[in-house]
Every structure is written in structure tokens, then in C-alpha cells.
Structure 1
Amino acid sequence: MKSKMLKQDIMKAIHELSQFGQDECGGMTRLLYDEAWVKAQNHMKKMMEEGGLDTSYDAVGNLFGRLEGTAHKDQTILIGSHIDTVKNGGMYDGQFGIVAGLIAASYLKRNFGQPLRNIEIVSISEEEGSRFPLAFWGTKNLLGLVGREEVLNVYDENGVAFAEAMHQAGFDFRPEDEPLRQDILAFLEIHIEQGCVLEKERKPLGIVSNIVGQRRFSVELTGESNHAGTTPMGYRRDAVHAATEMISNILNRGQSYGDPLVVTVGKIDVKPNVVNVVPGQLEFSIDTRHPDKKMLEDFTKEIHQLVEETAEKHGLKFCLDMWMDTDPVPMDEGLTQIIEAECVLNGVDFLKMNSGAGHDAQLMANHVPTALIFVPSHRGISHSPHEHTDGRDLALGVHTLIKTLYQLAYKEETGIVESIA
């Protein structure tokens, strides 16, 4: 397929989808079960049908477009990503992966007919957690990892109950007695990098080896509020003074570990937050990530020690709450080797890399062989109206997906199946 034509098809589809959720700030806001989300899924359904795929929704709103196999109807190659966005996000995050799968499957059908194994595109209902305080709702339902009890008391910022929003959109909870799918042979996700590594390294494609583990903490410090003019420095129990020392030490320690460990303090809340009062309370967040579980565990032990020692030094009470703990997830070696081989065969320069962000692929990888492909993000910008990926890079990603799907779905050789079994 000519690169120019492929680029045109991709951009046309992305711009069509992007009309659903355009916001007044120049970005996209398409949240789970809202009006824009419903329209986008229904438009995606229409696009799938025009591409020659049979379509269906599951109970919670995951949309599937299926190209039926002729020989191995119990084996499905699943490709997709999420249709929802963050608030005021960009037009490539998530939906590019769905468009890429659709264009690849449609191209293969036009040129090679029906595959031996099923090819199925999934437009995943939710990944971002932007409307309700939960994430990966779509993939968790696909894998049977979540139920109605998880969201019975969950509301959005406008007080709309999760179940009410879902029912208004025309969907319902997954039946508890519904059997889980056993036909998914492999899952592929293609996504913008959401970072600057590929652009900095001048590589047009990334093949992910691991998705990093994440630990997130809330640190609460309690000292004593007092008069800013009459309380000598030596007598203070100043929460800000202690917090600045903690944060500086944590960030410096993280820097000493070197890449690929990252640590971020992104949120700070001070009380009483008044100019002439010594602050007696403070809460700050810590987000740390690493592709090696042992390194992540070692670093978080150091975080706890630094917080404890500094709080004691300043005479403060502290509470350190780890509210997220996800392990690193490796991608399937056999599947990534197939992608690498296609890149080498077709002269595609690629980088083996880690993913510093979470993706639907990290949940799928614990259940079926999974691979994640990246295309570059200009200046690493994502979750922003300024999110951009060059059309040539998008086209190269889809071209690689086409070649990979052909190997997985159209070839009879058992070695391919065995490599990802």
C-alpha cells in the first residue's frame, strides 16, 4: 500500500472521529458514556462496517469489528485501543490505535480475502479514568476483572451515578454468568509514544519490551500552625519546611538511580495556605515508575525512610499511603520477535524500549500474548490539544501492523502460533 494513500486514509479517519468531543479550548473531551462518546462509538461502528467488518457491542460498550477466519475460527488476533480521552486532550491518544487496526484489517481483506484466523478490532470503551474515579473499565470487563460492585457508589463530578450514565448510553453491566472469551490468541496495540524518546533518538517506530510498574503515594504531614511573626524559627513545626526537604531528597535520590527510574511530585496542598501563618498541615503526592520490580521496591523503601527520618527531625507526624501499586508488565517475546522480524525485512528502523505510561496492553498481557507498538510524539506532548504525530510516522506504524497481521492471521505455519502460545 502506498504510503501517501495510507497517510490520507489515516488522517481522514482520525479527523472524522475527532469531530465528536471537540471542546472550546481546541482539544478533545470525550468521556465514558457521555454524548460525544456515544456518537464516536456509533461512528466507529459505521466505519468498521464500511471497511467490511461485522460489528457488535458487548454489555459495557466495547465495540468490536470482526473479519471472520476461514480455517481457525477459535483463534482471534485482537487489535485495538481506547476511544475515550482525557479532558481537553489530543486527537491521537487512543483513537489512532483503533483507526490503525481498522485500516490494516480492511486493507488485508481487500487484497488477500478472508484470513485463516479471525481478525478483530476493538474500540475499548474506557481507559483514561477521566470522568469517573476508575480506569481500564473496558479492558477489565473484557477480562472479567471488574463487576457492578466496583462502581455502585461511584459518581462523576456532577453527581451522576456510574450506573445511571451507563444506562443512559444504552449499556448495562456484564452478566455475571457470561463466560470469558477463550479465542483470543494475541492482542496488539499501536499507540503514540506520549514521550520524546523516539523523536530524540530519531527512530520512526518503537517496539515495547516492558510497561513500567507504578507506585503512587499520598504523604500527609501534621505539624502546628502558628503566628508567622511571633514564632521563632527554632520553635516551629513547619510542614512546608519539612516537605521541601523531603521532596528535594526524594527527587535527588531518584536522579541518582538514573534512567529508567522516574519520580514525580505533582500535587501539593498546604493548610491553612495563608501568607502570615506557619503552615501546620501539608499533603503531597509521589509518583514513581520503573520497568524492574525489584528496583521499584528498593526505591520506595528509600522514600519511606526519607519521609520518616525528615518528619522526626522536624517534629511532625506523618502518614504515607501507597494507593497505587502495579507491577511492571513484560510484552510477549514471541510476538515482539515477529514484529521485529517484519521491521528488519522491510527496512524499518526501530527502537526496543520501555513504556513509561500505562496502556490497555498491560492488563491484556497478564492473560494473552500481547505486543505494544509506538509511533513518535512530537516533543513528547500528549494529553493536550498540541499532541501531534507526523502522518508519515502514523503510516509507517500502520504498514508495520499490516505486515504483522498478515503473518499472524494469514499464514498457516504452526511455528507462528507456537511462538505466541
Structure 2
Amino acid sequence: MELLKSKVEETSKKITQYGYHEGAGMTRLLYTEEWLSAQNTFLELFEKSGFQAYADDVGNVYGRLEGREFPDQVIMSGSHVDTVVNGGNLDGQFGIEAAFIAMQYLKDKHGSPKRTIEAVSLAEEEGSRFPYVFWGSKNIVGIADNDAVKDLTDNKGVNFVDAMRKCGFDFATERTVRKDIKAFIELHIEQGKVLETEGKQLGVVTSIAGQRRYNITLKGEANHAGTTPMGYRKDTVYAFSKICSQSIDKAKVEGDPLVLTFGKVVPKPNTVNVVPGDILFTMDCRHTDKEKLLGFSDQIIADMQQICAEMEVEIDVDLWMDEEPIPMDPALVDLIDKTLEAKGANYKRMHSGAGHDAQIFAPRVPTGMIFIPSIAGISHNPAERTQLEDLTVGVKALIDVLHELAYK
């Protein structure tokens, strides 16, 4: 374990230097100089370890350890190299580092595997620079929408295609779908506090929650705060407060794993002496069961419409994200479970409330995920941390699972 700990620290330092700013955390966005340096460093690490190192057309980076009996059966592990703005150095990055360390360990201890193992550093997942997500994994499974990104620009006006070509990459010359991937395993920090709260070092992910996201606008009547009697008002902040309170109460009654969030609220004119005539707010609803997700969110929208009708306030609902829950492969979940149990690991089965590259692979490739704890559940934040002991336990778990999949 001590050797693995030192490898974890050493590898993290090599990659974290690209995009880290003291006091501001990690910012490593798709097709930037920091992104390219990190990807090139992974290529160097893979090559120095004796792996076949290469990048695909769009910039996903791979380290390949060829299988001696079934080279066309690939066991893949990794995560995304990009970050949010002012994030941490574990979200995504650690999953790639862990895959690299695990492959290196297995090669040194057991030699060539029966099936090929590939570590992958996925080009992009977050959508932090351009409004398109999962660019890396979508290209691997053949569902990336090239037309959707051609005219995209970042907040500085830089075009997606120009940024990609500046880094030496381009659209795939032909749409290819990897048919050789027999399993995808993603190790990731939890980004929540369930494992830490329950004193567990590992989580075996059974599913990724579906998400429905809305932009909702209420239109009432802006008017003078001093001369408009309470009974004459069409106050959209008051309407929103009723909606928010009633909806959250219902979500609490529904209970886990449902979560409901009103994350953004913009009243207009947003000044002290005017009754707010307009308000824009967002709603994010998640559940691991499709029917319950649809049923609950549809009921909440119906409740909103009723509240607004009673208050003579107009409502406009824009459902702009509607992602179904994604189960992990049951056989692979059981294999991970049994492998960890046999090793005496301290773990639990759980779902993921956040989205991950695993959800892109899962409908097409047998996919599994392993979580390790996040201190205080903090992620997407410079304070993102996980104990070195837990990081190392995560790598060891990945080693054991990859050994089962690739060597037996």
C-alpha cells in the first residue's frame, strides 16, 4: 500500500501542475494549453511504462496493454481530464491516474493480461468551455454530434473547431464505433458525503440518476411597492415562494433517492421599491427510477400551474434537459461487489446523483463505477479533497477488479 500511496502522490503532482492556480483551484478546459499539456503528459507516462500510447482524432488519450490471448477484447478504465472553472484536481483526473497506476501495477506483478487493458484520458465531460458535454466519450461510442459544435464559441468568442485544430486535433475522418470494448470501469470521487457519513471507503455504483432540468418564467405585474395594496398585487416572488416551499416539502415526503433543487432565481426588476413583475428560476429534479422521476416532476409542474392560476400569474415552462436514469451493468456490479467483498473491503452499494462518462458508455458497453469518499462532500470547488488513504484504497479496488476482468 505504501508503494501505491507514493505513486498516487507522484502522479497527481505531475498532472495537477497543468491548470492549478493557488487559491483558485483547478481550471483545465477543453482544447486549452493546460488541457493539451495534461494530455501530452499522460501520453508520456503511458509510453514510459511500456504501454502503447496514442491519441484519437478528437484528443482522447490512451495507454494500451495488449492482451496475450484475446487482444480484441478491451477492458477500459479512465475518466475525463477537463475540469470546471475553479474546481479541484480529483474530479475526473483521479480516475485517469488510478487507471494508469493500476495498469502499471498489474503489468509489473502479473505481466501481460489475457485481455487488453486500456487506460483512457477522455477529452471532455464537463461542458465548462463550450456548451456541449461528454465530447470525449460520445466520440468513442459514435454518438458525438459534429454539427452541434461547429458554431459553438467560448466566453471569449473562440470557435470550438478553431480551438480543436489549434491543439492538433480535428473531427474524426469517419464515424467509427469501438466494438472491442468489453467493459468500462470508472473510478471517481463521490462528490457527496454519503460514504464519509457512513464510514465507508468505497461505493459500488448501481445506477446514475436521471435528470430533468427546467427554466421557468413567471409573469405578473411590476408596480409601486408603496401604493399597490397587498390584495391587488401580482407578485411573482410571492408566487415563487409558494412554489418553492410546497415543492420542497413534497420532495422531502417522497424521500431518497429523489432530489429537487431550485438553484437559480432572478426576479425583475429586482429593486427594493417595486413589486417584482417577472421572475426566472430553474428547477433540477433527479431520481434513479424513470417513472418516479417523470411522475413527480410532472406533478410539481401541475402544482405550479395551479398556484399561478389562483394568483393570476402567467407561467412558461421550458424543459431543456430530460435524461433518463442509467443503470450500471448488473453482472459487472455483482462482479465488483464480490471482488471487494472477497478482499474484505469496507464498501456499500449506492447510486450516483451526478452525471459521469459512465452514463454514455453504459447503454452500449457493460459499465461499472466505483466511488471513493469526498471530504465533506465537496467537489467542483478548490476545497475538493479525499484522504490519501482513501485514494489508495480506490486504486487497489480498481486493480482487483481489472485483474478479475483482464487476467482471469
Q: TM-score, normalised by structure 1?
A: 0.95
Matching residue of 2:178: 181
Tell whether the 8 Å contact from 2:142 to 2:175 is kept in structure 1 after alignment: no
Aligned equivalent of 2:322, options 320, 325, 337: 325
Matching residue of 1:418: none
Q: Deviations over 1:119-138 (max 9, x none)?
A: 00100000011111111111
Once residues 310 and 50 of structure 2 are traced to their aligned partners in structure 1, the CA distance between those partners, rounded to angstroms, is: 68
Q: How far is 1:316 from its partner?
A: 1.0
Tell whether the 8 Å contact from 2:224 to 2:275 is kept in structure 1 after alignment: yes
Residues 1:345 and 2:339 are matched in the alignment: no
Aligned equivalent of 1:88, options 86, 89, 93: 86
Tell whether the 8 Å contact from 1:51 to 1:102 is kept in structure 2 after alignment: no
Q: How far is 1:72 from its partner?
A: 0.7
Once residues 347 and 99 of structure 2 are traced to their aligned partners in structure 1, the CA distance between those partners, rounded to angstroms, is: 20
Aligned equivalent of 2:391, options 386, 389, 394: 394
Matching residue of 1:148: 146
Q: Gapped runs of 5+ residues in structure 1?
A: 412-421
Aligned equivalent of 1:291, options 276, 288, 307: 288
Q: How far is 1:244 from its partner?
A: 0.9
Q: How far is 1:238 from its partner?
A: 1.0
* Mapping 1:252-331, distance limit 5 Å: 252-331=249-328
Matching residue of 1:415: none
Once residues 99 and 152 of structure 2 are traced to their aligned partners in structure 1, the CA distance between those partners, rounded to angstroms, is: 32
Once residues 24 and 4 of structure 1 are traced to their aligned partners in structure 2, the CA distance between those partners, rounded to angstroms, is: 28
Once residues 370 and 145 of structure 2 are traced to their aligned partners in structure 1, the CA distance between those partners, rounded to angstroms, is: 30
SS at match of 2:26: coil
SS at match of 2:130: coil
Once residues 404 and 23 of structure 1 are traced to their aligned partners in structure 2, the CA distance between those partners, rounded to angstroms, is: 35
Once residues 59 and 121 of structure 1 are traced to their aligned partners in structure 2, the CA distance between those partners, rounded to angstroms, is: 17
Once residues 348 and 341 of structure 2 are traced to their aligned partners in structure 1, the CA distance between those partners, rounded to angstroms, is: 12
RMSD between superposed Cα atoms in Å: 1.0
SS at match of 2:171: coil
Once residues 247 and 106 of structure 1 are traced to their aligned partners in structure 2, the CA distance between those partners, rounded to angstroms, is: 51
2:381 is matched by which residue type in structure 1? S
Q: Deviations over 1:111-156 (max 9, x none)?
A: 1111111100100000011111111111111111123201122111
Q: Gapped runs of 5+ residues in structure 2?
A: none
Q: How far is 1:178 from its partner?
A: 3.6
Residues 1:233 and 2:226 are matched in the alignment: no
- Runs of 4+ in structure 1 deviating by more than 6 angstroms, as ranges, are none
Identity within the alignment, %: 49
Tell whether the 8 Å contact from 2:140 to 2:177 is kept in structure 1 after alignment: yes
Q: How far is 1:24 from its partner?
A: 4.8
Pick which of 373-382 and 21-30 moved more. 21-30
Q: TM-score, normalised by structure 2?
A: 0.98
Matching residue of 1:99: 97
Q: Deviations over 1:48-71 (max 9, x none)?
A: 112221111111110011001111
Tell whether the 8 Å contact from 2:210 to 2:293 is kept in structure 1 after alignment: yes
* Mapping 1:21-420, distance limit 5 Å: 21-175=19-173, 177-411=174-408
Q: How far is 1:23 from its partner?
A: 2.3
1:32 is matched by which residue type in structure 2? L
SS at match of 1:207: strand
Once residues 11 and 263 of structure 1 are traced to their aligned partners in structure 2, the CA distance between those partners, rounded to angstroms, is: 37
Once residues 351 and 301 of structure 1 are traced to their aligned partners in structure 2, the CA distance between those partners, rounded to angstroms, is: 32
SS at match of 2:348: strand
2:402 is matched by which residue type in structure 1? L
Q: How far is 1:346 from its partner?
A: 1.1
SS at match of 1:56: strand
